[in-house]
Amino acid sequence: MWHSETLIVSLGCLCVLAAVSPSVHADTTVYGKVGGEAVLKPPANSVSGPITQISWKEGSNKAMEWETGDTNATGYRQFRDRGHLDTSTGVMTISGLLHNDSNSYTPEINNRRLTPVSLVVLSPVPVPSVNKSCDESKCELICEGTTARATPVSYTWMSDDTGKHVSSGKQYTVHKVNSSISYELSCEIENPISRERSEPITISSDSFSVISPPGGGPNIYMGLTVLIVLLVVVTLLVVFHKWKTGMWFFEKESMPWEGDFWRSDEHQRAPAANGTTAQQRNDEQTEEETPMTNG
């Protein structure tokens, strides 16, 4: 009876060990840059003695293999041209990396399956820019940059005056704490294979606005000022036209580029009336000078 209980306990321990063993040997993650190369290594201390057989699989498909007696390793599909296998260490190198190369790669050495290696191919991060929105008490800053196929990424805000890290995260709020605030900030975007930093921006206490470097976006306040000036000019022209001609511009039959558009209707009617009177006088004089003829 005692032996059977011991056997049951032993089997239970084995089951527990089998259940937790995958979590102990977690996959190793290797990050590669598009166009670069990735070096996939078997787990440390996993190979003992001479290597007689090596195999790497991409997912469930063969990637590369070699065994004693082969002159060279055999590559399959894209690994025929872009794969290299070191037969002395079992290390597999992939060059000319593509996003599609991201996958789980499992090594097998001397017919022993080892822990998979996860390859993640990333694009480099872009040079970021800072988007700002300010009011009288604070400025909201956002570190902008297209990070498609570059994740995971992290954001860091740096003081260009001291070179110190001041905050993490894509957004950063600067509060106006005194009347003499003035310093420079920049943001960094980083992923496992690259890092880029924005041009510095200056935080000034003058109206508490963020001043962008040359080449920044359009100034909305300048645009509003120009619009208001144009509206004032148009209004003055309309009022001047009404005062000069005695009627609104939309009551005129002539166009602005015609001379009559800026003349009063009274001045236009006077010459017309004078012309009619002169014509009548000429007609009367012609009738008086015509001689009578007898039939």
Neighbours of 21 (CB within 10 A): 9
Distance from chain centroid for Cα 275: 74
Q: Does the bond joining 200 to the residue before it have cis omega, within 30 degrees of 0?
A: no
Q: Is 276 left (phi over 0), alpha (psi -120 to 50) or beta?
A: alpha
Whether the predicted model's global pTM rises above the 0.75 cut: no
Lowest-confidence segment of 5-9, 115-119, 171-175, 264-268 by average pLDDT: 5-9
Given a contact cutoff of 8 angstroms between Cβ atoms, the answer to whether 97 and 35 are in contact is yes
Q: What is the mean pLDDT of the chain?
A: 77
Find residue 211's DSSP bridge partners.
202
How would CATH label the architecture of 129-211? Sandwich (2.60)
How would CATH label the architecture of 27-122? Sandwich (2.60)
Q: What is the pLDDT averaged over residues 3-22?
A: 41
Pull the structure tokens for residue 199.
Answer: 């041009």
Lowest-confidence segment of 11-15, 30-34, 44-48, 257-261 by average pLDDT: 11-15
Q: How many CA atoms lie within 13 A of 31 on its CB side?
A: 12
Residue in the block written with tokens 């102990």: 24
Residues of the chain with pLDDT > 90: what percent? 43
Query: Model confidence over 88-107: pLDDT tens digits?
Result: 999 999 999 999 999 999 99
* pLDDT on residue 123: 96
Query: Model confidence over 30-45: pLDDT tens digits?
Result: 999 999 999 999 988 8
Q: What is the pLDDT averaged over residues 264-288?
A: 54
Q: Which residues contact 75 (CB under 8 A, 6 or more apart)?
A: 63, 64, 81, 83, 85
Q: Cα separation of 130 and 199, whole Å? A: 8
pLDDT tier, 12 (very low <50, low <70, confident <90, very high otherwise): very low
Within this chain, domains 27-122 and 129-211 share the same CATH topology: yes
Report domain extents, the chain: 27-122, 129-211, 219-270
Q: Cα separation of 119 and 94, whole Å? A: 10
Given a contact cutoff of 8 angstroms between Cβ atoms, the answer to whether 51 and 66 are in contact is no
Query: Model confidence over 192-232: pLDDT tens digits?
Result: 999 999 999 887 765 454 444 444 445 566 778 888 988 98
